């Protein structure tokens, strides 16, 4: 991704196909760049790093934590993103199913 500064509490998106994304959600959302990989729908380990490659957050998620996030179009969302203990990000108890099918890209749920 290109270098950019993300303000505290701000959102950014990594999208697979920018044209398809903008066709569905419209232009102007905070897209950081295109991601050519694929996240495993069953769950996966995710690591967020800074520009120097240092890990900022590292966690494992599972989509089967909640029935609606298991292939039904709902995202996982942090319950309290501004106060969550970073060491608990792999715990189901800090996550919930998004209330919007398809998520709410670039905004709070």
pLDDT in tens, 16-40: 999 999 999 999 999 999 988 888 8
Residue found under tokens 């690591």? 47
Ranges under pLDDT 50 in the chain: none
CA distance linking residue 58 with residue 48, whole number of Å: 6
pLDDT number for residue 62: 86
Q: Any idea where the domains of the chain sit in the sequence?
A: 11-40, 41-103
Within 8 A by CB and 6+ apart from 95, the residues are: 61, 65, 66, 76, 77, 78, 79
pLDDT number for residue 5: 80
């Amino acid at each position: 991704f290109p270098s950019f500064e993300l303000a505290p509490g701000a959102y950014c998106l990594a999208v697979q196909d920018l044209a398809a994304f903008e066709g569905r959600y419209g232009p102007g959302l905070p897209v950081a760049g295109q991601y050519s990989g694929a996240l495993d729908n069953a769950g996966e380990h995710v690591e967020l790093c800074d520009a120097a490659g240092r890990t900022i957050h590292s966690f494992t998620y599972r989509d089967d934590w909640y029935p609606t996030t298991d292939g039904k179009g709902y995202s996982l969302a942090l319950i309290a993103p501004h106060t969550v203990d970073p060491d608990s990000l792999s715990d189901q108890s800090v996550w919930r199913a998004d209330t919007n099918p398809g998520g709410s890209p670039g905004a709070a749920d």
